[in-house]
Amino acid sequence: MAGGTSKSSVGMAQLIILADDLSGAADCAVSYAKSGLTTAIELTLQSNTDAQVVVFDTDSRHLVAAEAAALNVAAWRAVHSSHLRLYKKIDSTLRGNWAQEVAALICDAGMAVIAPAMPEMKRFTRDARQYIDQTPVEQTPVWSNEGRRGKASLNDMLVEAGVEVAHVPLATLRQSSPEVLGCLLLEHRQNQVGAVVCDAESDADLERLAQATYHLDAVFWVGSAGFAKALCPYLRRGASTASLPPITVEGPVLMVVGSMSPISHRQIDHLLTQCDEELAHFQVDIAELLAAHEAPSSLKRAQHALEEGHDVLVTLAQQTPDPSINGYALSQCLASHLGGHLGLLGALVATGGETAKALLSAAGIDYLRLMDELEPGVALSVNDQGMPVVTKAGAFGNESTLYQTWRTLAGMRTSRSCRC
CB 403 within 8 Å of CB 264: no
DSSP secondary structure, 110-140, as one string: -EEEEE--BGGGTEEEETTEEEETTEEGGGS
- Cα 130 to the center of its chain, rounded Å: 18
Rounded Cα gap, residues 211 and 193, in angstroms: 21
| Residue 397: per-residue pLDDT | 86
User: Which segments of 187-295 are extended strands (E)?
Assistant: 195-198, 219-223, 253-257, 280-285
List, run by run, the mean pLDDT of 10-residue segments along the chain (420 residues).
Answer: 56 90 92 94 78 93 95 94 94 96 98 98 97 96 82 97 99 98 98 99 98 97 98 81 76 92 91 90 92 89 96 90 78 91 94 89 92 93 94 88 96 70
Contacts of 15 by beta carbon, 8 Å cutoff, 6+ apart: 32, 52, 53, 54, 84, 85, 86, 87, 231, 235
Among the listed residues 218, 210, 197, the one whose alpha carbon sits nearest the alpha carbon of residue 111: 218
CA distance 341 to 63: 28
User: Which residues on neighbouring strands pair with residue 166, listed in sequence order?
Assistant: 196
Q: How far apart, in whole angstroms, are the C-alpha atoms of residue 263 and residue 276?
A: 19
| Residues linked to residue 196 through DSSP beta bridges, in sequence order | 113, 166
Angstrom distance (rounded) from CA 183 to CA 377: 33
**Residue 369, strand partner residues:** 40, 382
End-to-end CA distance of the chain: 36
Q: Where does residue 202 rank: exposed (0-12), middle (13-18), buried (19+ CB within 10 A)?
A: middle
Its CATH architecture, for the domain 253-411, is 3-Layer(aba) Sandwich (3.40)
Alpha-carbon gap, residue 345 to 347, rounded angstroms: 5
How many Cα atoms are found within 13 Å in the side-chain-facing hemisphere of 5?
Answer: 14
pLDDT at 242: 47
Is 345 exposed, middle or buried (CB count within 10 Å of its CB: 0-12, 13-18, 19+)? Answer: buried
Residue 389 bridge partners (DSSP)? 348, 381
User: What interhelical angle do 353-362 and 22-34 show, nearest 10?
Assistant: 90
Q: Where are the chain's structural domains?
A: 15-234, 253-411
What is the crossing angle of helices 401-411 and 262-275, to 10°? 50
Upper half-sphere CA count for residue 137 (Cβ side, 13 Å): 28
Which class in CATH covers the domain with range 15-234? alpha beta
Q: What is the pLDDT of residue 414?
A: 78
pLDDT at residue number 2:
47
